[in-house]
Amino acid sequence: MTVTNDWWRGAVIYQIYPRSFCDANNDGVGDIPGIISRLDYIAALGVDAIWLSPFFTSPMKDFGYDVADYCDVDPLFGDIEDFKQLVAQAHDRKLKVIIDQVYSHTSDQHAWFAESRQNRTNAKADWYVWADAKADGTPPNNWLSLFGGSAWQWDTRRQQYYLHNFLTSQPDLNFHNRDVQDAILDAARFWLDIGVDGFRLDVVNMYFHDASLADNEIADTPDKMFVGIAETNPFARQHHMNQMCRPDNLQFLQRLRSVLDKYPGSTTVGEIGAPHALDIMAAYTEGRDKLHMAYTFELLGEKHSADYIRQTIDQLNAKLVSGWPCLAISNHDVIRSASRWSPSGDVIRSQAEAMLVFLLTLRGSVCLYQGEELGFAEGDVQFEQLQDPFGVEFWPEYKGRDGCRTPIAWDTSVNSGFNQGAQTWLPIDPRHAAQPALAQQADDDSMFQFTARLLAWRAHQPAIVQGSFEWYPTDANVLAYVRQDASQAVLVMVNLSDQRFEVPEPEGYTQVSGAQHPHVVEAFSYKIYEKKLQ
């Protein structure tokens, strides 16, 4: 692990969903002490940092993404001293700590909103997005909520509508108000002062809205579609550029970056779900005065043909001239990649390995989602077991996000070692219980050990961590590319399909990993070659 302030450039960040990682107090929900108890496991994996999804004070209607206090830990997860201990213990193991920050909206239980909704003249009256009804009593415009229905909710006290891009209990902050920006920056300083190494910024492109509240247009062409949203969701039918992705956001991101710059070595990674998201990523990361890096949803969907991936990577590399990407193929919002990209939906070990080779050899930093290193399939959650309001709303065409959030199976004890209590907040998938994390860690032939070896190899390949990227000519169905720096060139060939392809043997390269047949890339397989340049 590097010790420079640019440690994040090319780093591997392990995402922890605290509710589902490890439960130390046996109440059914994972917590911070549980995370601390598994830090040795994470360190053994060989990642550079951990990213924690929200653990802040919250009524948990959206499981922590509805924040009621930006500067405290929800008792469900522990307390602030527990978190300080987590930071210290992680740093002792040379692990950086990144935490989620949800700035676009709060919970309706936040003290700011409780004050704002009292009347139209209080000190925080303009801290949220309020608007009068139309003459006929309907909402001020046609904006939709990502979680279904109108993005506007009527409030009887103020006799106005307030904006919510998600649940009605998640009112949007008004970033056009400088006081709101200042309060958010104070929250950022609070955690940086404790010692966190950076932030993952939830829906970073949704902080600002069009102040005139103009209607959204219809998304009548593919470039206007919101990347990462199912077509069954009416939200997908609008071009949301009045509701989000406003140019005002750039100035706030510069203010945020100026705060981070006062904490050398800290970083940001922004989540961007939007139409033409790669353009937004480029704008948000160029110039070294806004975000350090960002990720989009192009590789978090169903499409994974070689042609689609090649086009996506080409667009990414063309648009990010000075910016830096962060790449992921699984996270807490999408079906696990081992199931999502499998022809049958079942985990194919060789495919899971090939997918990780692909992810970990691209240009950019990487987010590795908990359980991905174990080859876990999407968890099976029945309707009556659902917790995710998104899934409840759109079942059965969309089953929500619970399947990727099921608790981690650690061993063969009660509740697979997630806890020793009577229950778990979501069911543990039997397939996970059959291949628990600690058993995999002890098995040299396991998916865990494959991932750990791959990460250990990657850490010592400068061409992979920060080198250039260029496609290598071969069969169009095979993803083949060269990562290069002054000292080495690494050629990677990945076949994510269920077909077998003939390829020419590369001249001047020595094969270092993968199947040995010199002229064939088997189904769901990979090959890695190296050439020393000096």
Confidence of residue 518 (pLDDT cuts 50, 70, 90): confident
> What number of helices (H) and strands (E) belong to the chain?
15, 22
Helix (H) / strand (E) containing 187? helix 178-194
- Distance, CA of 317 to CA of 362 (rounded, Å): 11
List residues bridging with 527 in a β-sheet: 493, 514
57 and 188 co-located in one domain: yes
Last residue of a domain, one of 458, 486, 513: 458
**Geometric angle at alpha carbon 52, from 420 and 9, rounded to 5°:** 140
- Quote the percentage of the chain above a pLDDT of 70: 99
Is 492 found in the same domain as 362? no
One of 23, 202, 298, 353 is an active-site residue; which one?
A: 202
The answer to whether residues 38 and 79 belong to one domain is yes
Answer yes or no: is pLDDT of 23 > 60. yes
- Whether residue 394 is predicted with pLDDT greater than 90 in this model: the reply is no
* Residues 426 and 484 placed together within one structural domain of the fold: no
Do residue 446 and residue 488 come from a single domain?
A: no
The contacts of residue 195 (CB under 8 Å, 6+ apart) are 84, 87, 88, 91, 97
User: Does any domain span residue 27?
Assistant: yes
190 lies in the same domain as 48: yes
Domain around 323: 12-106+178-203+250-458
Q: What's the CATH number where 526 sits?
A: 2.60.40.1180
Instruction: Please tell me the predicted confidence (pLDDT) of residue 487.
Output: 93
* CA gap 117, 457 in Å, rounded: 55
SS3 (DSSP) at 416:
helix
- As a whole number of angstroms, the distance between CA 354 and CA 495 comes to 7
- Chain segment 107-116, per-residue pLDDT in tens: 999 999 999 9
479 and 432 inside one domain: no
Rounded Cα distance, 37 and 22, in Å: 8
C-alpha dihedral sign at 66, 69, 73, 75: negative
The stretches of 234-275 forming alpha helices (DSSP H) are 248-260
Report how far apart the first and last C-alpha atoms of the chain are (Å, whole number). Answer: 24
Residue 330: φ, ψ to 5°: -145, 150
Average pLDDT, the chain: 96
Among 458, 492, 516, the domain-final residue is 458
* Residue 517 within any structural domain of the chain: yes
- Say if residue 186 is in the same domain as residue 290: yes
Tally of domains in the chain: 2
What pLDDT does 102 receive? 98
Q: Are 222 and 275 in contact (CB under 8 A)?
A: no
In a domain, 139, yes or no: no
Report the CATH number that the domain containing residue 359 is assigned in CATH: 3.20.20.80
Name the pLDDT band for 259 (thresholds 50, 70, 90): very high
Residue 202 annotated among the catalytic residues of the structure: yes
Q: What does DSSP assign to residue 402?
A: G
Query: Is residue 112 a contact partner of residue 106, using CB atoms and an 8 Å limit?
Result: yes
Mean pLDDT to the nearest integer, 493-515: 94
> In which band, very low, low, confident or very high, does the pLDDT at 274 lie, cut at 50, 70 and 90?
very high
Kindly state whether residue 234 falls inside one of the protein's structural domains. no
Consecutive H or E run containing 35: helix 32-37
Q: What are the angstrom distances between the C-alpha of 177 and each of 31, 188, 487?
A: 35, 17, 51
Q: Does residue 267 share a domain with residue 368?
A: yes
Non-local CB neighbours of 114 within 8 Å, separated by 6+ positions: none
Lowest mean pLDDT among 135-149, 327-341, 440-454, 501-515: 501-515
Please state the pTM of the whole predicted model.
Answer: 0.97
530: enclosing H helix or E strand:
strand 525-532
Tell me the per-residue pLDDT of 189-203, one tens digit each, with 9 for 90 and over: 999 999 999 999 999
Question: Known catalytic residue: 271?
Answer: yes
Shared-domain flag, residues 400 and 254: yes
* pLDDT at residue 231 is higher than 90: no
Q: How far apart are the C-alpha atoms of 117 and 12, rounded to whole Å?
A: 42
The Cα 285–Cα 65 span in angstroms is 24
Q: What is the pLDDT of residues 334-357, one digit of tens each?
A: 999 999 999 998 999 999 999 999
Domain presence at residue 223: no
Retrieve residue 275's tokens: 């139409």
pLDDT of residue 2: 40
Give the burial class of 275: count Cβ atoms within 10 A of its Cβ; 0-12 exposed, 13-18 middle, 19 or more buried.
Answer: buried
- Residue 1, pLDDT > 60, answer no
- Tell me if 2 is assigned to some domain: no
Supply φ then ψ for residue 137, to 5 degrees. 90, -5
Which of 436, 458, 480 finishes a domain? 458
In a domain, 261, yes or no: yes
Catalytic one of 271, 333, 373, 378 = 271
The 3-state secondary structure of 451-507, one letter per residue = HHHHHHHHHCCHHHHHCEEEECCCCCCCEEEEEECCCEEEEEEEECCCCCEECCCCC
Classify residue 432 by burial, with Cβ atoms within 10 Å: 0-12, 13-18, 19+: buried
Of 121, 245, 244, 127, whose CA–CA distance to 176 is shortest? Answer: 127
pLDDT tens for residues 71-121?
999 999 999 999 999 999 999 999 999 999 999 999 999 999 999 999 999
Residue 182 lies in a domain: yes
**Do residues 383 and 259 both lie within one domain?**
yes
Asked whether the predicted pLDDT for residue 3 surpasses 60, the reply is: no
Q: Chain centroid to CA 402: how far? A: 15
Q: Please tell me whether residues 438 and 309 are part of one structural domain.
A: yes
